[in-house]
Structure 1
């Protein structure tokens, strides 16, 4: 195989990976939309709940920044999440302003949420069982690096 053929093959495989990642993003978006519909949450509500669960407790401003939302939009999202029993707003003990609050995810409804994702989690467990430890490490590295590239691209776009 020539160098030119090798380069073409590499570009073709790389393009296929990018296409697969876009298709995966679409499919996961559809899954999340179905989960949100079952829980009577908007897509943005579910996204914010995930951020608070993963990185919280957070101030509403910090959550808005992470989610790429306007603070006024965040107020509506938090109102819906709080009414649904998903989050609590609590006074920030380290805040310099008495009005400062932190948003904390509540765990009471987690079984309901996890149950809706159980089909996907089971499918992933079966899929991952077919890979050895080195292959899993490679996949994990690729996904972490891809996530970081996405985070950086998002930050670049949000700056202007």
Structure 2
């Protein structure tokens, strides 16, 4: 009897795990579509939106560090930064200690436009989170953070060949 219970428990776990993976795939698609829409609203390519977000969250940082964080080749990053700078989204600044070094800084005066483009999603997330307690939100956050780390590792493996 206990092996039947264990087998049924294992099957239920596999089904639940598969459902989580399927939900994450659906989420990835929807977030990609959202970012494409935001990019269209801001007149940016999807890749540019992602890089702008990285600069806002991690910056200021060097073009090399940004390329690494975005999983992009440095030459590709140059084109992204050229577009973002031309559009007034970022500024390239010389490092005071090493005039050869450049840091990329987000133009904070443009943040309102980005926030406005994501306003619908931010409102929906606030409403969604209101239905959960603090402990549940902490668990969800831990799962999302760990999933992002796993995705980063898988992406690095793919790039390494």
Report the TM-score when normalising by structure 2: 0.94
TM-superposed deviation, 1:13: 0.5
Q: CA-to-partner distance for each residue in 1:109-134, whole Å, 9 max, x for gaps?
A: 11111011111111111111111111
Corresponding residue for residue 29 of structure 2: 26
**Structure 2: which 5+ residue stretches go unaligned?**
none
Runs of 4 or more, structure 1, over 6 Å off, are none
Corresponding residue for residue 90 of structure 2: 87
Cα RMSD after superposing both structures:
1.2
- In the alignment, structure 1 residue 76 sits paired with structure 2 residue 79: yes
Corresponding residue for residue 12 of structure 2: 9
TM-superposed deviation, 1:158: 2.0
Number of aligned pairs?
Answer: 158
TM-superposed deviation, 1:148: 1.1
TM-superposed deviation, 1:99: 2.5
Corresponding residue for residue 145 of structure 2: 144
Report the TM-score when normalising by structure 1: 0.94
Cα separation, 2, equivalents of 1:2 and 1:70 = 51
**Partner secondary structure for residue 91 of structure 2:** strand
Cα separation, 1, equivalents of 2:137 and 2:101 = 43
**Partner secondary structure for residue 108 of structure 2:** coil
**Structure 1: which 5+ residue stretches go unaligned?**
none
Corresponding residue for residue 118 of structure 2: 117
Corresponding residue for residue 156 of structure 1: 157
TM-superposed deviation, 1:71: 1.6
- Counterparts in 2 of 1:37-116, with a 5 A limit? 37-95=40-98, 98-116=99-117
TM-superposed deviation, 1:83: 1.1
